[in-house]
Amino acid sequence: MKLKPATLRVFTSLHSWAGLLAGLALFVALYAGAITVFQQPVQQWASQQVAGTGSPDDMQTLLDEVLARHPEAREHLGMTFPGYLLPGPVAYWPDRRGVWQYATLDDPDGSPARPGAPLAELINELHYSLGLPVGGTYLMGVVSLLYGIALVSGLLIHLPRLAKDLFALRPGRNLKRFWQDAHNTIGVLSLPFHAMFAVTGAMLCLSIPLMMAIGPLAYEGKLLAASGPAMNTAPTIQRTGIAATLAPVSGWVAQAQAIAHNRGIDDFAPQYLKLAHAGDRHATVEITGDAPRTMATGTLALDAHSNALLADQLQGTRDANHATLAWIYALHFGDYGHAIVRWLYFLLGLGGAFLFYSGNLLWIESRRRRRQTAQGRSSLVMARATVGVCIGVCVAVSSAAVAAQLLPTLGWNVETGERWTCFASWALCVLWASLRKPARAARELLWVAALVTALVPLAHGFATGAWFWRSALAGHVGVASIDIGALAMAAAFVALARATARRARAGEPNSVWAET
């Protein structure tokens, strides 16, 4: 296959501009998303807690306490099972004002403060909304569409010489060629995964606008009425006003596991449940969980009074809508398989971040005025933005992790302190990059990133005494991996800082990345 020169220029321009418009946001999303794959170990690491020790008896105790103290929770209530995110169960429900309340065994009265460490949720917010409180999710949906355009156009550009250039990594003095080779190789090899990230990311972030757009056409203005059956497993049943005693939580779990076993799904592990109309004859409960060798979570809806099966959305029996939603979530977040899948997603996330960082570097170098010392303003602005935003978010995430360990010892509000630490350090990095020459700013901020990231395991060890070797010996591999991974990332930042310094000294003199 050979493209005409004019067609090639069109696709090259499309690839460049789609990548530039989306590149900085996608670096943040992919870097944070790589860490989000290990959300549960991050939660345990930041909250200084390890494996779950609760039981269905704890679930029952918390459920009884919440329903007795909070009548409004009887209409709709959710609960996470012990060990899913936290060692103990967590109940949550909307109060009369619509504000979500959270309760634990230690705090059955509940409060708007979400239990557990906020670090994992903060990193997840960076992934899906860049931390923007308004419109961030929709912005990332648009960015995901540009992501897809950049991937397709990039493939079309390199398709004619794919076999020749796929594994061509040519180190040497021509650093631009080496970065181009690395960019192309990683992009092509990881194309199926990144195409999946782009499609599922757009669908997750833009699901509400899409539903609003097709609502008048597909549902004749009755979208809200149709969305309940499409999203939930339990059928919509009205209250009867007849009081009835709920079956025990252990009975719900046993029934769900028995039904799943009969459908060929062994070792069904409940993760969370949703209870509706508690205390009424028509009370229903949905139990969602997963099992080994299943692609996505499954849900069963039971009569909360008699344990009779009302409906199910298990693997092999899901309808089209639930199957689509389950696969989108599973594919995007890597919620299937075992540790090897999560590590693969982690590496793909970091590889994707590298794609957009290297893409920006290539765009800047391609516009370099080779015979002029002074470079174009657009190249300088893009170089400073790339350094400040990309390296800055690496500093910000590591700073928030250090704060997660140190703030509790100081008696400060952890959630507020983490957010201030994260976004203030990020803003300072962007400001620093805007005031310094790009090469110097990149080198300096990479050293800062290395230092702060190396402090992550040190802060954890000093705050808790759980040094990574102790965690590993105690069998807490996930927690130990956070510390070891931070040390590896710190080493990577050091290597990048040294490479940047060499490039500034020995590279092309007429470049924004030169020392002078």
Q: What's the pLDDT band for 4 if we cut at 50, 70, 90? A: low
Please check whether residues 42 and 186 belong to one and the same domain: yes
CA separation for the pair 30, 11 (Å, rounded): 24
383-439: per-residue pLDDT in tens? Answer: 888 999 999 999 999 999 999 999 888 777 888 899 999 999 999 999 999 999 888
Same domain, yes or no, for 160 and 79? no
The average pLDDT across 489-505 equals: 88
In this predicted structure, the answer to whether residue 375 has a pLDDT above a threshold of 60 is no
The mean per-residue pLDDT over the stretch 186-197 comes to: 75
319 and 412 within one domain = no
- The phi and psi torsions of 303 (rounded to 5 degrees) equal -70, 115
Check whether 379 has a pLDDT greater than 90.
Answer: no
Give pLDDT, residue 510: 67
CA distance 137 to 129: 4
Residue 491 lies in a domain: yes
Per-residue model confidence (pLDDT) at position 429: 97
Q: Is residue 251 part of a domain?
A: yes
**Rounded distance, CA 15 to CA 35, Å?**
27
Tell me how far apart the alpha carbons of residues 8 and 1 are, in angstroms, rounded to a whole number.
Answer: 12
Backbone angles phi, psi at 325, to 5 degrees: -65, -45
Does any domain span residue 45? yes
State the DSSP H helix or E strand holding residue 401, giving kind and residue range, or none if neither: helix 392-410
Summarised one tens digit per residue, pLDDT across range 217-265 is 655 556 555 566 667 777 778 888 888 889 999 999 999 999 988 888 8
249 and 371, same domain (yes or no): no
Helix and strand numbers, DSSP H then E, in the chain: 19, 7
Please tell me whether residues 248 and 372 are part of one structural domain: no
Top-confidence residue, 162 or 281: 281
Is 270 in a helix, a strand, or coil?
A: strand
Residue 179 lies in a domain: yes
Q: What is the mean pLDDT of residues 149-165?
A: 66
> Largest Cα–Cα distance in the chain?
86
Question: In this predicted structure, what is the pLDDT of residue 16?
Answer: 62
Determine the pLDDT at residue 419.
93
Q: 136: closest CA among 149, 124, 119?
A: 124
d(CA 434, CA 84): 43
Strands 76-80 and 100-103: what pairing? unpaired
Would you state the pLDDT for residue 328? 84
Please check whether residues 320 and 417 belong to one and the same domain: no
Question: Amino acid identity of 417?
Answer: G
In a domain, 349, yes or no: no
- Give the span between the Cα atoms of 30 and 193, in whole angstroms: 12
pLDDT value of residue 220: 59
Domain shared by 489 and 436, yes or no: yes
CA distance 125 to 29: 9
Q: What per-residue confidence (pLDDT) applies to 355?
A: 77
The pLDDT confidence band at residue 461, using thresholds 50, 70 and 90, is: very high
Domain membership flag for residue 212? yes
Question: What order do you get walking across the sheet with 298-303 strand by strand?
Answer: 100-103, 90-94, 76-80, 269-276, 284-290, 298-303, 309-313
Q: Does residue 355 belong to any structural domain of this protein?
A: no
428 in the same domain as 475:
yes
Residues 206 and 311 in one domain: no
| pLDDT of res. 505 | 76
When divided into structural domains, the chain yields a total of: 3
Q: Are residues 468 and 383 in the same domain?
A: yes
Question: Could you say which of 344, 378, 408 is where a domain stops?
Answer: 344
The larger pLDDT score, comparing residue 377 to residue 182, is at 377
Q: Which of 333, 332, 314 is nearest to 322 (CA)?
A: 314
What confidence category does residue 349 fall into, taking pLDDT thresholds of 50, 70 and 90?
Answer: confident
Percent of the chain residues past pLDDT 90, beyond the cut: 31
Structure confidence at residue 193 (pLDDT):
82
Instruction: Give strand ranges (E) for 115-174.
Output: none
Q: Tell me, what's the pLDDT at 315?
A: 79
Average pLDDT over residues 89-105: 91
pLDDT for 298:
84
Rounded Cα gap, residues 139 and 242, in angstroms:
47
Average pLDDT, the chain: 82
Global pTM value: 0.84
Q: Is residue 362 part of a domain?
A: no
Q: Give, in order, the Cα–Cα distances in Å from 410 to each of 345, 382, 451.
A: 35, 39, 22
Q: How confident is the model at residue 182 (pLDDT cuts 50, 70, 90)?
A: low
Sign of the alpha-carbon torsion through 419, 117, 388, 385: negative
Range of the domain at 322: 56-118+227-333
According to the model, what pLDDT value does residue 389 have? 93
Residue 54 and residue 88 in contact, taking contact as beta carbons nearer than 8 Å = yes
One domain for residues 169 and 313: no
Mean pLDDT of 186-192: 70
Same domain, 251 and 294: yes
